[in-house]
Amino acid sequence: MKLLLGSNNKHKAEEIKAIFDSKLPGKIVLLTLDDVLDDAFDVEETGDTLEENAILKAEIYHKVTGLPCIADDTGLEIDALDGAPGVMSARFAGEHGNDTANRALVLDKLTGVSYEKRTARFRTVICYFGNSGVELIAGTCAGRIITNERGKGGFGYDPIFVPDGFDTTFAEMSAEQKNAISHRGRAVTKLVEFLEKEIGV
Domain count, the chain: 1
Catalytic pick from 21, 73, 79, 82? 73
- Domain range for 107: 2-199
Q: Would the pLDDT of 199 be above 80?
A: no
Amino acid making up residue 129: F
70-98 mean pLDDT: 95
CB distance 54 to 126 below 8 Å = yes
pTM of the model: 0.90
CA distance 72 to 124: 7
Residues 39-82: tens digit of each pLDDT: 777 888 899 999 999 999 999 999 999 999 999 999 999 999 99
What is the SS3 assignment for 201? coil
Could you tell me what percentage of the chain is helix, strand and coil, using 3-state DSSP and rounding each to the nearest 5?
A: 40, 25, 35
Which has more confidence, 93 or 95?
Answer: 93
73 is catalytic: yes
Q: What is the CATH number of the domain that holds 115?
A: 3.90.950.10
Question: 44 and 57 in contact (C-beta within 8 Å)?
Answer: no
| Per-residue pLDDT, 201 | 66
